[in-house]
Amino acid sequence: MADAGPTLYRDAALADGTGPTLRKGVSILVDGRRIVWIRDTSDEGELPAHVRVIDAGGATIVPGMVDAHSHVTLPGGSHWIDRGFDAPDDLLEVAEHNADLLGRAGVRWARDVGSPAAEDPRDGRKQALALRVRERWRGNLSRPRLLVAGTWIAHSGLLPSGLPVEADDGPALLSAAKVQLDAGADFLKLYLDGPKKEEAAPWSTEDVRAVVEMAHARGTKVTAHSGYLVGARVGIDAGVDSLEHGFELDSDAAWKMARQGTFLVSTLAIFRSWRSFSQTTTLPRFAGDEGKERAARRQERAIESVQLAHRAGVRIAAGTDFGGGSLRANHLAWEVESLVEAGLEPWEALASATVRGGELLGQVEAGCIVEGGPADFFLVHGDPLTDPTALWRVWRVAWLEDSSPSES
């Protein structure tokens, strides 16, 4: 589909994630899929000929969001682990469905932190499916922009056999990390829960630091799955760039993260999802008394960890863990709600899903609305700076209007 020419979004409010105040009476002119200007509606000036005017009155313009923890080739739901062993073609089809869900929910960027590996029929190499998805989506404006970690790197016996790349000592870990980067991963994902999750990390601080130094020398980053405090400490001391989940932090860990600039990628909404499963499934993990009590304890501890991180000044990026966890691809608004529940101001929670996510990705245009930047914004009914549930009420998505697969 050809570019439809200049479009004016007139008389909206603007919530850009940089502060608590909603800017009202705003018009945005878009042309060539870029933002030409952002002006007060009362001062639009002369408009281009044949401009298409969209009456955005009563709506709020929001930057395209960043799901900082996702698994685009997996569907999520209560059987999410089983789905990792589905046929590769089926999982590639799941990715396309997830792309539709992400776009319609206002998510512009996805950071894939692990996907199953499969043989690529084009060259016979075994590689993470998300790498194929990234290439398939490259240049397709209707698809999310994607950064990919490759396949999970974990100690043996933690994830189902055949799903991760397994490494049981330091040399094997470093070798696996190099293989992932050589295959084209944008960054690395280490699984820092060990065989005895609450007692020891799977690798030493020195082992993980060697991976971090190697990755940084190659111009990329390292993130780490962190479900328990002992693994979080190893990752922080080793200098990883971010912790995923961070369900068990203490004040010392949080303060050190803040000093080092280590991001926390929150995924609190998974506990809300598990609570819903206690009503909709018969699986003992969710519906049984023991499972419900354990989930409640983990949720309470995870909320406390986010609060500690927030007070310490840790930069928090929002993720859903969709696909690799129980959520679905259009649930990032749920995580924003969860961050507000944990004590962030609504504008701070929105920032976690927009500008902070862009900072984590190292993409200066991600999660931002600026003159000259891409028209990566969407419109919702309501004010997300006072009511985070407004993010569920998506009305229009600018980058999906007149999008063309041939355009980048």
| 66-81 tens-digit pLDDT | 999 999 999 999 999 9
Distance CA 299, CA 268 (A): 7
Of 19, 50, 30, the C-alpha closest to 378 is 30
Q: How far apart are CA 405 and CA 408, in angstroms?
A: 8
Question: Which among 230, 305, 233, 239 has a CA at the least distance from the CA of 266?
Answer: 305
What number is the average pLDDT over the span 230-246?
Answer: 98
Q: Which residue has the tokens 């690799």?
A: 324
Would you call 362 exposed, middle or buried from its count of C-beta atoms within 10 A (0-12, 13-18, 19+)? middle
- CB of 99 closer than 8 Å to CB of 144: yes
The residue with greater pLDDT, 120 or 207, is 207
- For the ranges 123-137, 249-263, 391-405, the maximum mean pLDDT occurs at 249-263
pLDDT of residue 408: 34
Question: How many CB atoms sit inside 10 A of residue 275's CB?
Answer: 14
| Pairwise CA distance, residues 268 & 353, whole Å | 13
Between CA 197 and CA 392 the distance in angstroms is 36
pTM > 0.85: yes
Q: How many CA atoms lie within 13 A of 281 on its CB side?
A: 18
The contacts found for 298-301 with CB under 8 angstroms, 24 or more apart, are 298/247, 298/271, 299/268, 299/271, 301/247, 301/248
**Of 407 and 394, which is predicted with more confidence?**
394
Residue in the block written with tokens 């840790």: 314
If residue 70 lies in a helix (H) or strand (E), which one and from where to where?
A: strand 65-70
CA atoms within a 13 Å half-sphere pointing along the CA-CB vector of 27: 20
Q: Hey, which residues does 59 pair with through a beta bridge?
A: 381
Tell me what the pLDDT averaged over the chain comes to: 95
Q: How many CA atoms lie within 13 A of 337 on its CB side?
A: 14
Rounded to an integer, the average pLDDT of 178-194 is 97
Delineate the domains of the chain, giving CATH numbers in brackets. 7-63+368-400 (2.30.40.10), 65-361 (3.20.20.140)
pLDDT of residue 122: 78
Please give the pLDDT value at position 3. 61
Could you give the angle at the alpha carbon of 255 between the alpha carbons of 168 and 20, nearest 5°? 115
